[in-house]
Structure 1
Amino acid sequence: MSKRIIKKVAVLGSGVMGSRIACHFAGIGVQVLLLDMVPKEAVESDNKAARNKLVNDALQAALKSNPSPVYTKDVVKKITTGNFTDNLKEISGYDWIIEVVVERLDIKQQIFTEVEKYRKPGTLITSNTSGIPIHLMAEGRSDDFKKHFCGTHFFNPPRYLRLLEIIPTPHTDAAVVDFLMQYGDLYLGKTTVLCKDTPAFIANRIGVYGIMAIFGLVDKMGLTVDEIDALTGPIIGRPKSATFRTADVVGIDTLVKVAKGVYDNCPNDEQRDIFVIPAWLEKMVANNQLGDKTKQGFFKKTLKASPPAGGGGLEGAGKEIYSLDFKTFEYKPRAKAKFATVEAAKPIDDLKTRLKALCSGTDKAGDFYRHFHYGLFSYISHRIPEISDEIYRVDDAMMAGFGWEIGAFESWDVLGVESTVQKMKAAGYAVAPWINEMLEAGAKTFYKVENGKRLYYDVASRSYKSLPGGDAFIVMKNFENQTVWKNSACRLYHLGDDVLGLEWYTKMGSIGGEVLEGIQTAVAKAEDNYKGVVIANDSANFSAGANVGMIFMLAIEQEYDELDMAIRMFQNTMMRARYSAIPVVVAPHALTLGGACELSLHSDKVCSAAETYIGLVELGVGLIPGGGGTKEFVLRAADEMHEDEPDTITLKNRFLTIATAKVATSAHEGFELGIFRKGKDEIVLNQGRRIAEAKKSVIELFDSGYVTPVQRTDIKVLGRSALGALYAGINGMWRAAYATDHDVVVAKKLAYVMCGGDLSEPTLVSEQYLLDLEREAFLSLCGEKKTLERIQSVLKGGKPVRN
């Protein structure tokens, strides 16, 4: 088979999924044709806008949605819209056709009949169905169509949920399946999971089972909506939306439809009765309480009963969320759920340790966790090999599709497979025969790590096998037995090939003294014996920045010498990373704020996940970037200045990025904000590959003859001429009420540093000169009462007060 290249994709159907799938493809640089029906009122019209109103409105609605379906706003230029009547013939020039119309087999088959009239032989054709058997859609189609036809089930929203289920039919060419698995991984950034053509495939089969099993426990244990969501959210490594909020977002009618589909089409499912819809759920559907789409489901937003202090009536009262009472079927104010087991487990940061504590609880919560996990473990054991031959596919699907931090089989490992099986049997929960055979053969876990590689238990061969693509998906914790150095916050591993890997596991990835010690140690050890260092982690976020709690404590106690030393240490560590004798590559993902952004700015290269939200946010807490971030923006502004435009333009743009605490909402925006460097830093679409790509970059930089950079002494600063312009702009923001009095104080300090101080004319200065100015401004702001109020507000509630 010749090499397949995807340049153009046609998406048929512009609903919620179709429009967002189109946006995601456009986001990776592919030309997209998005088609839908001609509105009934425009069937006889010759007006193009009228005939394309349905598809254009759908696309605009997607682009306005939050969170955004695109990495940058200009990607919409890669999407062309049209309608089935006028434009379907254009699919003959497209490389991949994705059908995303309504979930009805007859309508999908009608679309495919039309597609066959224009589709060029060899073109990929896939369906984004969540439940209709893939093989039924292929019936009656040509051999070439069948050979290139497959199910590709994206999860909503497709930019953010990483799961892509690939579901072939018996007729699908193996080369097509291999291509889709690889393309989804490399180019779409997905966890691609190969599924069998069984009802609800993998993720929805297990995920909906989990929700329906919880619904059963609601009746059995008399638990409330608020109690269930308190028990099944982040405390057990699940999303904040937990159970009932997730159901509201997905749509209760959709949930019921999938559950009924499993019940009707899986007569041999040993837990089939779990999928019987409870009477109260049927009542909700009958009452049109379908969740967010009808503005009421398990939760409902209601106007507050009394206005806020100061009057203003109900218009200013805001809204509060009520939850459904199953006994009265009325909405009542949310009640904070409290369980002794949960309260005892909350302080435990490590999820695996926390799960053990939760399942050992002696109260109602402990009973719930045991029943829930025993039922889940029993269910997944019986789904092998029905829905998948390999256990890791089940875990991958649940983590990527439902946002679980660890998979179901991995959770079973955490609780102890052998001991849990005994408890399950005692409680009346059966396991599949292969589980007993596995234990009898001496295999006590589903996963294990050997030489930095993760192995899974293969049921068919009764042996352990390496997870596919292990070299491309480096997980830091898998190298624990190759630890080179550690302290209470960090670990430094040998990742192989003479490359070190540093990770830290503080709360929210905050950067304090021990993390700085870790960076310094990693660089020093690499300079002695290794090619370089990768700095990354596998936490939910890379880092929320410097340890503001420490800054607050030192400032409130007026320990200014200590604070000065702490800032110097931060600056020196960033400069150590920049001017080391070996390459330092940072691989950030998710939140990468403040000090973590400064670390990225000072690295030799950044291998950033596409979903990286990066920025210098210190202005929000009444400070300026003090770890070299301000200095680095001045340096870059100086290098970007052009003779054909005023010098202040580039500096002003850089100033505004910091002064407004802009955060890039994707790695692509990180380039637009000048945080990432074109031609040097790179975006890795699949987050799981970024550490391996960073390691590869370290080796490439070292092997190509890495030379230690030389500290800069030629940075052009503009002095008074630019300072006056920036001050005028700050005052204008204040007069327009965009900035508070304290915002003005902080912004003027920032402007002073970025202009190099009150110099009479443009001057060439050194990096250290700017670092000293930056540190002095940072220290002075730590003595401001309003800055301390902002920091305290962040520490208490997570958001800075506007003062």
Structure 2
Amino acid sequence: MTNENSFLVRKVAVLGSGVMGSQIAAHLANANVEVVLFDLTAKEGDPNGVVQKSLAFLQKLEPTPFSVKSKIHYVTPANYDHDLNQLENCDLIIEAISERMDWKKDLYAKVCPKIAKHAIFATNTSGLSIYSLAEVLPSHMRKNFCGIHFFNPPRYMTLVEIIPHKETDSKILDQLEEFLTTTLGKGVIRAKDTPNFIANRIGVFSMLATMHHTEKFNLGFDTVDALTGTSIGRAKSATYRTLDVVGIDTLAHVIKTMSDTLPNDPWQSIFKVPNWIQALISKGAVGQKAGAGVYKKSGKEIHVLDLHMQNYRLSKQEAEPDIAAILKIKDPTEKFKQLIKSDHPQGQFLWATFRDLFHYCAVQLEDISDNARDLDLAIRWGYGWSMGPFETWQASGWKFITEAIQNDISAGKAITKTPLPTWVTDSNRVAVHFADGSYAPAKKTNEPRRKLPVYLRQPYPEKVLGEKYSYGETVFENEGVRLWSADRDIAILSFKSKMHAIGSDVLDGVIESVKVAERNFKGLVLWQTEPPFSAGANLMQVTQALQSNNFTILESMVKRFQEASMALKHSLVPTVAAVQGLALGGGCEFVMHCSKAVAALETYMGLVEVGVGLLPAGGGCKEFTLRACREAKGGNIFPFLQRYFENIAMAKVSRSAEDAKELGYLRQSDIIVFNPNELLYVATSEARALSESGYRPPLKSKDIIVTGKGGIATFKAALVNMHVGGFISEHDFEIGKRVATILGGGEIEQGHMVTDEWLLELEYRYFIELLKTEKTQQRIEFMLKNGKPLRN
């Protein structure tokens, strides 16, 4: 029986192959959704030439829109003149053409007769009225029409805003939210049909306020970017670099939309395109896509526009030391106190931008968003901020910040004299985010999260300040790990270390947790309460042992690492790694040894030990040799071994979970999940299913056929060529020789069979050997100090 509420998506059409449309199509293809990508008919040559050109451009884009290159084959090029019949078989149609109401309406008239009755028709407009667009549709289609606003780049940005109009059927909104959440891995916010919706309304206002105060406090664009980037928890591209990436002409269009559609907005005075932006547009210097904008590259140097010089100068991008020191204060209340009382223009600038942002969000919240949580998450997911505006306000002391804003409004320092809403200044108000929900001004209550069935797959969704989660009941804990459970069947192991680095306490914790799971549970899941999965071995611990010349500790640690990996692999209950973000070095080795992996699409795995002058010794080399042997099926093992050798020697890191499968870090049977909030749900389900199937671990290998001396010699010859050609350093050559020897099974005859223990012993021997070299110790020290590898 078919559930009438099911929304089955076999094929999607995307109308418009521009920057957004083509990347939305690419991400649909990533999710194994067949896509038809439409555009105008080319004036000459292939009728689909416009789309073909867009797809060719996608393949050059960085960061790449495709999880692996082959996904492009799921996108079928089409044009409006010859291929409209293909729309009849599409379950979802996403219109993503230019932000021109007249163009959109013309296109709707053309495509509507071909759209199936059951299909959802959605527009990716970033700010046009959904109701006005719906008006031109036939009456029977309006109930299936809404806004679906992706953020750029669609693969990487979490946010999608869904915007209904007054006739939209609520059922299709639920269906669309489920599809976007699980299939495409998005964070969905339902926005009201107001200009620019939520994220762009607030984000663009923040940018306009920043521009206004840049001029007021006479600051350089590069100085503003030093102040408004990572130092305040926002994207590295900060303000003006973001402007270049988005496109100066695009921002000018959005500003005009705000100015035209929000005539009564109290902040209307700053909704205008500055003269310097108009000048750049007239010269064609519209940002990154044109090679110049606020910034431009000159050789290896970055130059920035200087309005006083009316020309470009070398970019310095640094904050005044006193202000930089204030921004490093951990207590947010103290930080704002220092900014408010600062007499330095940079300090005054920062407080002014925050003050006006808080003021704007408070006044507009009721009109644009259902509640404060939706506004904060929209900004975090759509603009990459670590905290939303209300979260920042609340963390800094609600009453303190409210009083400071009111003082500035009274003193005429704020952009507008519009008072704060009464709900903000209520004497009982101390926050907007609480354990039971976030404040909704229209309802005058705290509104909980929406209870759609899809969210039952997210036991621990990304929380906002004030939300509290109980991560189950602790079963076992030490300094490095916590083993806990939310039910009686599956134990969950989470690391407590910074970046979930693996040191002695984590190793001890893993080994003990496997024993506890075997005694008391049906399965064990490795899952971190926040990304990354693991940045690898704890180099600080290694360095401390090196400084005291205590190789006994290091030798013991390597053996313990191997023991932990093998415990995961040969556990009597299934072990499942739930992976998101970085899984490097030892973290990658743990994943490789688990019974199964469930990986978020955005998983970046790799055995990167050569970067610190070492080689994988937690079973990574052993596991690659074993996999190559199994893949060869009794044939020539060398071609299979070769790609694994390249992975280790070149420290290859996957660019997605799909890529991790192609590189061999993940198995083809491992599962990829698009929404990281669903990782734990899927991983525990997999552990339970393995247990129910009568799981038994693999026995320790005794029949690994190796290449021996012959294979090692071939690898060494390749290394010699790379060394002579200057592609690798002398120390890289030394590391590579040892990796080749392990993967080849040691200096024995070709075709010999070896065991797991044999290969693990080779890993151990050569790891310790490298650790005693001066160049490896230099690499470790350099990595700790600079966060990047040393080529010595």
Same fold (TM over 0.5): yes
Q: Who is 2:434 aligned against?
A: 448
Stretch deviating more after TM superposition (530-539 or 78-87): 530-539
Q: Distance in 2 between matches of 1:263 and 1:606?
A: 50
Preserved contact between residue 503 and residue 538 of structure 2 (Cα < 8 Å): yes
Q: Who is 2:465 aligned against?
A: none
Choose from 251, 259, 264 the match for 1:268.
264
Sort the Cα spacing of 1:205 and 1:330 in 2 relative to 1 into closer, same or farther, 3 A: same
Q: How does 1:103-114 map to 2 (within 5 A)?
A: 103-114=99-110
Count of matched residue positions in the alignment of Structure 1 and Structure 2: 768
Quick one: which amino acid aligns to residue 542 of structure 2?
A: I
Preserved contact between residue 481 and residue 510 of structure 2 (Cα < 8 Å): no
Q: Distance in 1 between matches of 2:483 and 2:29?
A: 39
Q: How does 1:688-707 map to 2 (within 5 A)?
A: 688-702=677-691, 704-707=693-696
Q: How does 1:589-600 map to 2 (within 5 A)?
A: 589-600=580-591
Sort the Cα spacing of 1:369 and 1:132 in 2 relative to 1 into closer, same or farther, 3 A: same
Sort the Cα spacing of 1:185 and 1:763 in 2 relative to 1 into closer, same or farther, 3 A: same
Sort the Cα spacing of 1:460 and 1:502 in 2 relative to 1 into closer, same or farther, 3 A: farther
The Cα RMSD (Å) is 2.8
Preserved contact between residue 181 and residue 194 of structure 1 (Cα < 8 Å): no
Q: Distance in 2 between matches of 1:424 and 1:518?
A: 49
TM-score w.r.t. structure 1 length?
0.89
Q: Secondary structure at the match of 2:556?
A: helix
Choose from 221, 228, 235 the match for 1:225.
221
Stretch deviating more after TM superposition (407-416 or 65-74): 407-416
Preserved contact between residue 569 and residue 698 of structure 2 (Cα < 8 Å): yes
Is residue 303 of structure 2 the alignment partner of residue 322 of structure 1?
A: yes
Q: Distance in 1 between matches of 2:10 and 2:175?
A: 14
Choose from 8, 27, 34 the match for 2:11.
8
Segments of structure 2 that go 5 or more residues without pairing to the other structure are 462-467
Q: Deviations over 1:303-356 (max 9, x none)?
A: 3xxxxxxxxxxxxxxx211222233332222224234455446767xxxx4644
Q: How does 1:705-720 map to 2 (within 5 A)?
A: 705-707=694-696, 710-720=699-709
Q: Distance in 2 between matches of 1:241 and 1:709?
A: 48
Choose from 751, 754, 767 the match for 1:762.
751
Is residue 367 of structure 2 the alignment partner of residue 378 of structure 1?
A: no
Sort the Cα spacing of 1:716 and 1:445 in 2 relative to 1 into closer, same or farther, 3 A: farther
Quick one: which amino acid aligns to residue 431 of structure 2?
A: T
Segments of structure 1 that go 5 or more residues without pairing to the other structure are 304-318
Q: Distance in 2 between matches of 1:598 and 1:481?
A: 27
Q: Who is 1:417 aligned against?
A: 398
Q: Who is 1:648 aligned against?
A: 638
Is residue 105 of structure 2 the alignment partner of residue 120 of structure 1?
A: no
Choose from 333, 348, 360 the match for 2:337.
360
Q: Distance in 2 between matches of 1:413 and 1:271?
A: 23
Q: Secondary structure at the match of 1:589?
A: strand
Q: Distance in 2 between matches of 1:518 and 1:354?
A: 33
Preserved contact between residue 493 and residue 525 of structure 2 (Cα < 8 Å): yes
- 1:181 Cα shift? 1.0
Stretch deviating more after TM superposition (322-331 or 475-484): 475-484
Preserved contact between residue 359 and residue 369 of structure 1 (Cα < 8 Å): no
Sort the Cα spacing of 1:593 and 1:619 in 2 relative to 1 into closer, same or farther, 3 A: same
- 1:629 Cα shift? 1.1
- 1:578 Cα shift? 2.8
Q: Distance in 2 between matches of 1:92 and 1:490?
A: 54
Quick one: which amino acid aligns to residue 785 of structure 1?
A: E
Preserved contact between residue 90 and residue 119 of structure 2 (Cα < 8 Å): yes
- 1:154 Cα shift? 1.3
Is residue 73 of structure 2 the alignment partner of residue 77 of structure 1?
A: yes
Q: Distance in 2 between matches of 1:574 and 1:271?
A: 59
TM-score w.r.t. structure 2 length?
0.90
Choose from 4, 20, 40 the match for 1:17.
20
Q: Who is 1:312 aligned against?
A: none
- 1:192 Cα shift? 1.4
Q: Secondary structure at the match of 2:559?
A: helix
Q: Who is 2:29 aligned against?
A: 26
- 1:531 Cα shift? 4.8
Stretch deviating more after TM superposition (180-189 or 756-765): 756-765
Is residue 83 of structure 2 the alignment partner of residue 98 of structure 1?
A: no
Q: Distance in 1 between matches of 2:122 and 2:303?
A: 41
Q: Distance in 2 between matches of 1:496 and 1:347?
A: 41
Q: Secondary structure at the match of 1:427?
A: helix
Q: Distance in 1 between matches of 2:120 and 2:7?
A: 10
Preserved contact between residue 592 and residue 612 of structure 1 (Cα < 8 Å): yes
Q: Who is 1:307 aligned against?
A: none
Is residue 600 of structure 2 the alignment partner of residue 609 of structure 1?
A: yes
Sort the Cα spacing of 1:708 and 1:431 in 2 relative to 1 into closer, same or farther, 3 A: farther
Q: Secondary structure at the match of 1:153?
A: strand
Q: Who is 2:562 aligned against?
A: 571
- 1:736 Cα shift? 4.8
Q: Deviations over 1:164-222 (max 9, x none)?
A: 11112222222211111111111111111111111001110010011111112213333
Q: Distance in 1 between matches of 2:714 and 2:390?
A: 61
Q: Distance in 2 between matches of 1:376 and 1:699?
A: 48
Preserved contact between residue 195 and residue 201 of structure 1 (Cα < 8 Å): yes
Q: Secondary structure at the match of 2:292?
A: coil
Q: Who is 2:464 aligned against?
A: none
Preserved contact between residue 509 and residue 542 of structure 1 (Cα < 8 Å): yes
Q: Secondary structure at the match of 1:566?
A: helix
Q: How does 1:219-298 map to 2 (within 5 A)?
A: 219-298=215-294
- 1:255 Cα shift? 1.5
Stretch deviating more after TM superposition (789-798 or 753-762): 789-798
Sort the Cα spacing of 1:409 and 1:28 in 2 relative to 1 into closer, same or farther, 3 A: same
Q: Secondary structure at the match of 1:434?
A: helix
Q: Distance in 2 between matches of 1:338 and 1:389?
A: 37
- 1:599 Cα shift? 1.5
- 1:552 Cα shift? 4.2
- 1:465 Cα shift? 4.4
Preserved contact between residue 626 and residue 774 of structure 1 (Cα < 8 Å): yes
- 1:521 Cα shift? 5.0
- 1:74 Cα shift? 1.0
Q: Secondary structure at the match of 1:70?
A: coil
Q: Who is 2:298 aligned against?
A: 302
Sort the Cα spacing of 1:482 and 1:295 in 2 relative to 1 into closer, same or farther, 3 A: same
Q: Who is 1:310 aligned against?
A: none
- 1:456 Cα shift? 2.9
Q: Secondary structure at the match of 1:759?
A: coil
Quick one: which amino acid aligns to residue 677 of structure 1?
A: R
Q: Deviations over 1:57-116 (max 9, x none)?
A: 111011121111111111111122132222223222222222222221111111111102
Quick one: which amino acid aligns to residue 675 of structure 1?
A: Y
Sort the Cα spacing of 1:481 and 1:54 in 2 relative to 1 into closer, same or farther, 3 A: closer
Q: Who is 1:753 aligned against?
A: 742
Sort the Cα spacing of 1:489 and 1:239 in 2 relative to 1 into closer, same or farther, 3 A: farther
Q: Secondary structure at the match of 2:38?
A: strand
Q: How does 1:604-753 map to 2 (within 5 A)?
A: 604-643=595-634, 645-679=635-669, 681-702=670-691, 704-707=693-696, 710-753=699-742
- 1:598 Cα shift? 1.0
- 1:597 Cα shift? 0.7
Q: Distance in 1 between matches of 2:681 and 2:353?
A: 36
Q: Who is 1:543 aligned against?
A: 534
Q: Distance in 2 between matches of 1:739 and 1:691?
A: 41
Q: Distance in 2 between matches of 1:35 and 1:703?
A: 47
- 1:511 Cα shift? 2.5
Choose from 378, 383, 389 the match for 1:397.
378
Preserved contact between residue 5 and residue 171 of structure 2 (Cα < 8 Å): no
Q: Distance in 1 between matches of 2:291 and 2:184?
A: 33
Q: Secondary structure at the match of 1:201?
A: coil
